[in-house]
């Protein structure tokens, strides 16, 4: 089985609310999942929700990352990146 690849579109968000909306879209999460809650989002990224299998490695390709660097405050962008970088099951690729 090959590793799952998820494409995150950096043009689709500019803050936490729209970031959460894009994650819900690409991960096929139910509307009831509150990914604005940090604990919930962390659980989701470990898998077992939406299209992610539980604790199975996957890759997130963050498209249009340079655009995000221009429109999202540096501290907020660092928090967004840390969600992925701190998770041992995620390989993060910037495009």
Per-residue pLDDT of the chain (95 residues; tens, 9 = 90+): 678 999 999 999 999 999 999 999 999 999 899 999 989 999 999 999 999 999 999 999 999 999 999 999 999 999 999 999 999 999 999 99
Burial annotation 20-40 (CB, 10 A radius, 16+ → b, else e): bebbbeebebeeebebeeeee
Q: What per-residue confidence (pLDDT) applies to 21?
A: 94
Q: What per-residue confidence (pLDDT) applies to 10?
A: 96
| Class of the CATH-defined domain 4-94 | alpha beta
Q: Domain boundaries in the chain?
A: 4-94
Q: What per-residue confidence (pLDDT) applies to 2?
A: 78
């Amino acid at each position: 089985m090959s590793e799952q690849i998820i494409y995150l579109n950096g043009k689709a968000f500019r803050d936490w609310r729209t970031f959460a909306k894009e994650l819900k879209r690409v991960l096929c999460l139910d509307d009831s999942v509150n990914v604005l809650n940090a604990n919930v989002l962390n659980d989701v990224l470990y898998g077992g929700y939406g299209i992610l299998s539980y604790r199975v490695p996957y890759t997130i390709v963050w498209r249009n990352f340079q655009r995000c660097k221009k429109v999202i405050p540096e501290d907020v962008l660092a928090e967004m990146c840390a969600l992925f970088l701190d998770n041992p099951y995620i390989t993060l690729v910037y495009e």
